[in-house]
């Protein structure tokens, strides 16, 4: 899929991995809609890079549909690219100090990370299948975001690991369903990255986390996620796959 001249939408695009992807796509010539719950930050980034902003809650059908419609309205070659990186990682053990943790603590994470991904996928796929096929028959590419927690979930990542495991699990069946329409689906499972999720940790904790990655022995850079996302978009043989982007990291139990 050629990025230049395509319309794209990045869910969770106002910060972290999503922001880096927005910047990379705009630099490659895409018309990008930044769909994010933080509308103010989305607007600031859009003004900075020459993109478009849309307030979006991925768990809300109407909100997400409006953001997709904004991307479709950009015209050109149509909405060809979607990157879904909206999510949260609120930790919670199954059993807390006062007994079983409230169910709502798990439901919120799963609602955003898994149901939100499905919601975004169904809407962008619905738009992409109406595109005219390009020379290679492609109509669109969807890049989802999981986590190595889907495979190596730590204590306290009950909901987070389950939600990201769900994203891993849906990748192949969705890719198979959309294959006949010329729409590819690939998921990236990042390791430890320099994102707002880790920004609140003390420097000592961040350094300790960076040191557990075999090579390179540091936190991943959002630009490296963006680079992989753009390679996926441009490589038509990548489909139905989950790619770990983690420097060979395998997380310990805690």
Residues marked as catalytic: 160
Provide the β-strand partners of residue 252.
Answer: none
Looking only at the bridges linking them, the beta strands covering 31-36 and 99-100 are unpaired
Contact of 92 with 156, CB cutoff 8 Å: yes
Dist. CA 92–CA 79, nearest whole Å: 37
Residue with tokens 């630009």: 223
Q: Where does residue 169 rank: exposed (0-12), middle (13-18), buried (19+ CB within 10 A)?
A: middle
Which has the closest alpha carbon to 32: 41, 40, 23?
A: 23
Residue with tokens 């495991």: 165
* Rounded (5°) CA angle 26-13-73: 65
HSE-up (13 A, CA, CB side) for residue 22: 32
Dist. CA 80–CA 234, nearest whole Å: 11
Contact of 184 with 199, CB cutoff 8 Å: no
Q: Where does residue 98 rank: exposed (0-12), middle (13-18), buried (19+ CB within 10 A)?
A: exposed
Contact of 236 with 171, CB cutoff 8 Å: no
Coil vs helix vs strand at 145 = strand
């Amino acid at each position: 899929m050629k990025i230049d001249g395509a319309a794209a939408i990045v869910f969770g695009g106002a910060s972290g991995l999503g922001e880096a992807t927005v910047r990379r796509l705009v630099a490659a010539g895409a018309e990008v809609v930044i769909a994010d719950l933080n509308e103010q930050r989305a607007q600031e980034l859009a003004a900075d890079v020459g993109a478009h902003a849309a307030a979006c809650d991925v768990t809300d059908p109407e909100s997400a549909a409006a953001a997709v419609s904004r991307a479709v309205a950009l015209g050109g070659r149509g909405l060809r690219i979607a990157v879904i990186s909206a999510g949260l990682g609120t930790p919670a053990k199954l059993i807390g100090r006062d007994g079983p943790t409230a169910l709502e603590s798990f439901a919120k994470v799963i609602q955003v990370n898994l149901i939100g991904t499905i919601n975004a996928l169904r809407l962008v796929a619905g738009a992409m299948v109406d595109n005219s096929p390009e020379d290679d028959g492609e109509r669109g590419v969807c890049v989802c975001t999981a986590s190595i927690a889907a495979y190596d979930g730590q204590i306290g990542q009950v909901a987070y690991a389950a939600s990201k495991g769900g994203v891993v699990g849906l990748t192949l069946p969705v890719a198979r369903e959309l294959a006949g329409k010329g729409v590819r689906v690939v998921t990236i499972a990042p390791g430890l990255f320099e994102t707002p999720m880790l920004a609140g940790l003390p420097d000592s904790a961040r350094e300790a986390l960076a040191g557990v990655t075999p090579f390179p022995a540091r936190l991943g850079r959002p630009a490296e996620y963006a680079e992989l996302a753009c390679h996926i978009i441009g490589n038509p043989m990548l489909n139905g796959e989950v790619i770990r982007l983690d420097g060979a990291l395998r997380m310990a139990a805690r």
